[in-house]
Chain A
Amino acid sequence: MFYREAGQFKTSYKADQALFPILQDRVGLAVILITAFAVIPALANDFFLTSIMIPFLVFSLAAIGLNILTGFCGQLSLGTGAFMGVGAYAAYKLTSIFPDANVIVMVLLSGVFSAAIGAIFGLPSLRIKGLYLAVTTLAAQFFLEWCFIRIPWLYNYNASGAIEVPHREVFGIVATGAEATPLARYFIVLGITVLITFLMANVLRGRIGRSWMMIRDMDIAAELMGIRPLQTKLMAFAVSSYICGVAGAMMVFFWLNAAEPSSYSIRLSFQVLFMVILGGLGSLGGAFMGAAFIWILPVVLKFVPGLLGFDLAAETVEHATFMIIGALIIFFLIVEPHGFARLWQIAKQKLRVWPFPY
């Protein structure tokens, strides 16, 4: 009743091929974008922006990056954290080599380095498949982590071994460094995330995206039908790593302000993988839902005992959070192995036929 395509006639190919052909989708998207760009900045306080919204957007972008590789091209990767790290270190080096350049451009450029590294580590994917590939991406994870520690050039020979984000202004507004306001950071992160998401939504429904999905569904059949596996897979690795790299650069530049090699450890890889799988493999919307679940839930859980009047030690809460998250992950996998994206589709179907059962 509320969500129905009946009566929405398409009178041109252009309308038929639109990214969002259904009116309700367009309205819904507009509402979400208005909320993100106007309502949240107007209402939210600094804490909400810095510890929920900014990390949520950064992780969403990383999850989109991994989703392209794992969800759309079917190549399981456990090296996401390291690829994000490459982006962060590249952005750091770029801003220190070109101090006057626009920092947003530098963050977007840093993804290029991460894409190159990702493509190199994607080379084995031509011969190695499935879980074997997952383990080889661990090689990327541990090797790159080692590089972040052992190559002092990467962190400008800092004594601490960490990278610290310098003070930079974009169009007269402080964008990075300790003085940047959460609002400015939020807008930059939101802008980049929305831009890349729309770009990817279009790539994925085009020729490139379809060839990725063919490789995912059956690589030999795809090859027989004229998809070149090498180019296609490497492109998936490169695009995925580009997005992860940008997300990693945003993570340190607009959220953490400083990062050390352990920020980009295997735990980060797992976190992003969780987001992708719980959100739904092969779904851009799912990446956002997964990121929201995995990032926001622990933050909320931290405050639950306090609200209920219990006075628990911070450690106990942390341990309990781990347990609850683990249990919830298993629970959601059992209830809906295709992730939140599938739940959303089921909900849409229900809305479509409402008030009738089917």
Chain B
Amino acid sequence: MLYDIFIDPFVQMYQMPDFFLQVLWEGFVAGILYALIALGFVLIFKASGVFNFAQGIMVVFAGLTLVGLNENGVPAYLALILTIGVMGVLAYGVERVVMRPLVNQPEIILLMATIGLTYFLVGFGEFVFGGEPKQMITEQLGLPTGSTAFEIGDRGLVILQHIDIAAAVIAVLMVTALAIFFNKTRIGRALRAVADDHQAALSVGISLNQIWAIVWFAAGLVALATGIMWGARSDVSFALEIVAFKALPVLILGGFTSIPGAIVGGLIIGFGEKIGELYWGGLVGGGVESWLAYIIALIFLLFRPQGLFGERIIERI
């Protein structure tokens, strides 16, 4: 038993490096996708202190809109632009209808409101586009398909899907773009000011409403990119919603307010989950992927309650 837990998995890793590398790659890709969802959470949490539970469903909604438009005869790129427009309208609507009346409420109320938004978007998406899973329009969007196999010395093959490579590249580009946006532009500075202190930001003439709309729009764009990538790996369906919960332990690991944290947390969870499932999962009957991420986060939090990159929690009376 002890041998199975502590020695055997490492022996396997050494003996079959190709399989191990494949697992690592899978973990990496899963981690990137978790990180992308977490990124949307972080953007909104940073700017408005709202824990946006609807981020997962925004991913599904964006993907569904894109595919649904394409099915109705809109060319792929036009559909993409239209979907961006839809996410903009959604962002403005959320700011106007949900956020503005609820300003200054306790965080649990805001959390509840975003769960209400989740219900609404689920109903709305199914109402308009139907509940069946849909195929992502990978080829029409010009995303690569197919795969490449690499040889690892003479000990086997590692197969990389092109779409996964594209996902990684897009994720890196998006994070870079966001970093530049946050650090170099006027709006980005305003965003950071709002994140630091709402009242101080207001007093120097930054419009909170405008900033929130922008942030929700940015989160919508991140959701769209995630939706495309994830949709290309499997179907676009509401089952994604459950997977989106995985972004929560990622957030916890990284800290709610840190963009690098979201990325690093995503990768830790992605690697940990795949390695845990494939090397240790068999010992308890498999399927540990569904909860391992949460347990990792839980144990981690016991030692660092504010997450990896989170701001230190200072408590006053």
Which A residues fall within an 8 A CB radius of B?
A: 70, 76, 124, 127-132, 134-136, 138-139, 142-143, 145-146, 149-150, 218, 220-221, 224, 266, 270, 273-274, 277, 281, 315-316, 319-330, 333-334, 337
Range, interface on chain B = 35 or more
Point out the residues of chain A lying under 8 angstroms from B317, CB to CB: 218, 220-221, 224
Query: B284-305: which residues lie under 8 A (CB-CB) from chain A?
Result: 284-288, 290-291, 294-295, 297-298, 301-302, 305
Residues of A within 8 A of B121 (CB): 326
Q: Is the CB of B298 within 8 A of A319?
A: no
Q: Which of A70, A139, A270, A327 contacts B297 (CB 8 A)?
A: A139
Q: How far is the CA of A149 from the CA of B286 in the complex (A)?
A: 11
Q: Bound state CA distance, A221 and B317, in angstroms?
A: 6
Return B112 CB to nearest CB of chain A, in Å: 5
Q: Are A143 and B295 in contact (CB under 8 A)?
A: yes
Q: Which residues of B contact A274 (CB under 8 A)?
A: 112, 115
Is the Cβ of A128 less than 8 Å from the Cβ of B305?
Answer: yes
B302 partner residues in chain A, CB cutoff 8 A: 124, 127-128
Does any Cβ of A come within 8 Å of B126's Cβ?
yes
Given contacts A322-B123, A323-B124, 10 further A-B contacts (CB under 8 A): A76-B108, A124-B301, A132-B252, A220-B315, A277-B108, A322-B126, A323-B123, A330-B98, A333-B116, A334-B113
Could you show 12 A-B contacts with beta carbons less than 8 Å apart?
A136-B298, A138-B249, A145-B290, A146-B288, A150-B285, A220-B315, A319-B126, A319-B127, A328-B116, A333-B105, A333-B109, A337-B102
State A130–B252 Cα separation when bound (angstroms): 12
Contacts of B288 in A (CB 8 A): 146
Across-interface contacts of B105 in A (CB, < 8 A): 333, 337
Q: Which B residues form the contact surface with A (CB < 8 A)?
A: 51, 97-98, 101-102, 105-109, 111-113, 115-124, 126-127, 131, 242, 245, 248-249, 251-252, 256, 284-288, 290-291, 294-295, 297-298, 301-302, 305, 307, 313, 315, 317
In angstroms, Cα B124 to Cα A299, docked, is 19
Q: Could you tell me the distance between the alpha carbons of A323 and B125 in the complex, rounded to whole angstroms?
A: 9
Q: Which residues of B contact A124 (CB under 8 A)?
A: 298, 301-302
Nearest CB to that of A131 among chain B residues?
B51
Partner of B119, one of A130, A146, A220, A325: A325
A135 touches B290 (CB 8 A): no
**Which of B102, B115, B284 makes the CB contact (< 8 A) with A270?**
B115
Residues of chain B within 8 A of A316, CB atoms compared: 127
- The reply to whether A127 and B305 form a contact with Cβ atoms under 8 Å apart is yes
Question: B residues within 8 A CB of A70?
Answer: 108
**Partner of A128 from B98, B111, B118, B301 at Cβ < 8 Å:** B301
Q: Which residues of A contact B297 (CB under 8 A)?
A: 135-136, 139
Q: Which label, helix, strand, loop or mixed, suits the secondary structure of the A interface?
A: helix
| Closest chain A CB from B266 CB (angstroms) | 15
B120 contacts across to A, CB distance below 8 A: 322-323, 326-327, 330
How far, in angstroms, from A275 to B249 measured CA to CA in the complex? Answer: 25
Contact A337 B123 (CB under 8 A): no
A316-B127, A323-B124 known; A139-B116 Cβ under 8 A: no
Are B294 and A135 within 8 A (Cβ)? Answer: yes
Q: Which residues of B contact A334 (CB under 8 A)?
A: 98, 101-102, 113
- B295 contact set on A, CB distance < 8 A: 139, 143
| A329 cross-chain contacts in B, Cβ below 8 A | 112-113, 115-116, 119
Chain A residues contacting B51 (CB-CB under 8 Å) are 131
Given contacts A135-B249, A333-B102, contact A315 B131 (CB under 8 A): yes
* A131, B111: Cβ atoms closer than 8 Å: yes
A309 to B291, CA, bound (A): 47
Give Cα A130 to B106, complex, Å: 11
Docked Cα-Cα span, A224 to B248, in Å, equals 32
Complex CA distance for A270 and B242, rounded to whole angstroms? 13
Query: Is there contact, CB below 8 Å, between A139 and B294?
Result: yes
Closest-by-CB residue of B relative to A322 is: B123
Given contacts A128-B301, A329-B115, contact A142 B291 (CB under 8 A): yes
Q: Are A130 and B107 in contact (CB-based, < 8 A)?
A: yes
Whether the pair A138, B113 counts as a contact (CB closer than 8 A) is: no
Partner of B123, one of A128, A139, A281, A326: A326
